[in-house]
């Protein structure tokens, strides 16, 4: 099958080509993000392979269908960037990578948490300039602290296990109560208790209409003063402007983001020689107690191998007319 791979970077070429070596699909790599302006690149391709910031809305899906595309293969877990109903109306099937390495994301969340807590980003810069002073680098022990995990699915549960290993108490918040989460030795709590007690809040729920801006001015006003917020899930879970106000007032003690609400035009690109036209992000980056990584939590060798192997296997299932193991059905 001919597959148009959008948002393709060097590592996508390397790992997808390796995964495809036996399957023998025809891969056409495009660095461009899929959107209305670039959809013509997929003409004649029965499948498109998309990543987190490609846009498969109603307009794009109609254009894809007109060009002969019958399958959208997402090489990621989240699918908030695909209009599933429009895809079904166009006769396009959608598959994703349900699970690859949840460890990659959970471990990155821990790395961000400890960086922001122990000021590793600041120490790194200081010591390179032979500044070995400790002022401003004071952190806290994780042992004995309370951690809130919002979304206790695959990633949230691994993050929980690691936090319990540090000696933290873990409070879960989820619309679905998982016995596996409780079996780890954590418990569920209401939003009010999380607000009162959590020293650290880590987001691991998907972006849906219900979770958009789940962290907003109101919820921030109820968190424990000085709490740390970690978001490795999706940018729009957080109202960024409200978070900036909370950082300015000290209500939030620190913020670590791997995802950002307006990341689609920024992340996965080298913009170091340009003036970035995003005042909100620039303001965020001006705080000493904020760390931003560019949606890299998934980016481990193990995870990317599994992502590419699963994606190629899904395309092969489709090509063979088999049931799709990783299909996402329209709601």
- Which residues are at the interface with ligand NAD (CB under 6 A)? 77-78, 102, 105, 150-156, 173-176, 204-208, 210-211, 232-234, 258-259, 295, 297-298
Nearer to ligand NAD, 90 or 234 (CB): 234
Nearest approach, Cβ of residue 2 and ligand NAD (Å): 27
- Half-sphere exposure for 291 (CA within 13 Å, toward CB): 26
Which residue, 35 or 174, is less far from ligand NAD as judged by CB?
Answer: 174
Beta bridge partners of 82: 56
CB of residue 101 to ligand NAD, shortest distance in Å: 9
Work out the number of other CB atoms within 10 angstroms of the CB of residue 288: 10
263 is catalytic: yes
Pick the closer one to ligand NAD by CB: 233 or 240: 233
CA-angle at 112, arms to 155 and 168, nearest 5°: 65
Please identify the residue of the shown chain whose CB is closest to the bound ligand NAD.
153
Spatial CB neighbours of 6, under 8 Å, sequence gap ≥ 6:
30, 32, 33, 34, 38, 41, 42, 48, 49, 50, 51, 54
Give the active site residue among 46, 107, 261, 263. Answer: 263
Nearer to ligand NAD, 155 or 315 (CB): 155
**Which of 34/155 has CB closer to ligand NAD?**
155
Q: What is the smallest separation between the CB atom of 84 and ligand NAD, expressed in angstroms?
A: 15
164: phi then psi, degrees, rounded to nearest 5? -65, -35
To ligand NAD, the closest distance from the beta carbon of 174 in angstroms equals 4
Structure tokens at 97: 């990578």
Query: Two tokens at 125?
Result: 């810069």
| β-pair type (93-95, 146-150) | unpaired
Select 45 or 205, whichever has its Cβ closest to ligand NAD: 205
Please say if 213 is a catalytic residue: no
The minimum distance between CB 106 and ligand NAD, in angstroms, equals: 8
Catalytic residue (choose from 33, 157, 204, 295): 295
Single out the catalytic residue among 204, 234, 261, 309.
234
Q: Is 13 among the residues known to form the active site?
A: no
**Which is nearer to ligand NAD, 114 or 316 (by Cβ)?**
114
> How far apart are CB 102 and ligand NAD at their closest, in Å?
5
* CA–CA dist 41, 250 (Å, integer): 48
Q: Give the shortest CB-56-to-ligand NAD separation in angstroms.
A: 16
Point out the residues that are catalytic. 234, 263, 295
């Amino acid at each position: 099958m001919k597959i148009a791979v959008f948002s393709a970077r060097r590592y996508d070429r390397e790992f997808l080509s390796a995964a495809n070596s036996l399957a023998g699909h025809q891969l056409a790599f495009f660095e461009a993000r899929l959107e209305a302006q670039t959809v013509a690149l997929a003409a004649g391709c029965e499948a498109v392979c998309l990543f987190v910031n490609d846009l498969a809305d109603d307009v794009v899906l109609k254009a894809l269908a007109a060009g002969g595309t019958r399958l959208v293969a997402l090489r990621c877990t989240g699918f908030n960037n695909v209009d599933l109903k429009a895809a079904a109306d166009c006769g396009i099937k959608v598959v994703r990578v349900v699970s690859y390495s949840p460890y990659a994301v959970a471990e990155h969340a821990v790395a961000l948490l400890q960086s922001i807590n122990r000021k590793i980003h600041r120490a790194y810069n200081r010591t390179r300039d032979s500044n070995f002073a400790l002022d401003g680098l004071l952190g806290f022990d994780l042992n004995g602290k309370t951690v809130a995990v919002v979304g206790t699915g695959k990633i949230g549960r691994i993050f929980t296990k690691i936090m319990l290993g540090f000696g933290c108490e873990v409070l879960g918040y989820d619309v679905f109560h998982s016995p596996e989460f409780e079996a780890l030795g954590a418990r569920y709590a209401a939003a009010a208790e999380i607000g009162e007690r959590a020293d650290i809040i880590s987001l691991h729920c998907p972006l849906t209409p219900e979770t958009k801006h789940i962290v907003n001015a109101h919820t921030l006003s109820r968190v424990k003063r000085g709490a740390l917020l970690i978001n490795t899930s999706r940018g729009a879970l957080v109202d960024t402007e409200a978070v900036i106000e909370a950082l300015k007032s000290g209500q939030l003690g620190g913020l670590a983001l791997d995802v950002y609400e307006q990341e689609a035009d920024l992340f996965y690109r080298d913009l170091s020689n340009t003036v970035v036209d995003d005042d909100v992000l620039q303001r965020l980056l001006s705080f000493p107690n904020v760390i931003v990584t560019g949606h890299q939590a998934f980016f481990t060798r193990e995870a990317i191998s599994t992502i590419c192997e699963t994606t190629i296997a899904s395309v092969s299932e489709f090509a063979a007319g088999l049931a799709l193991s990783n299909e996402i059905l329209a709601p």
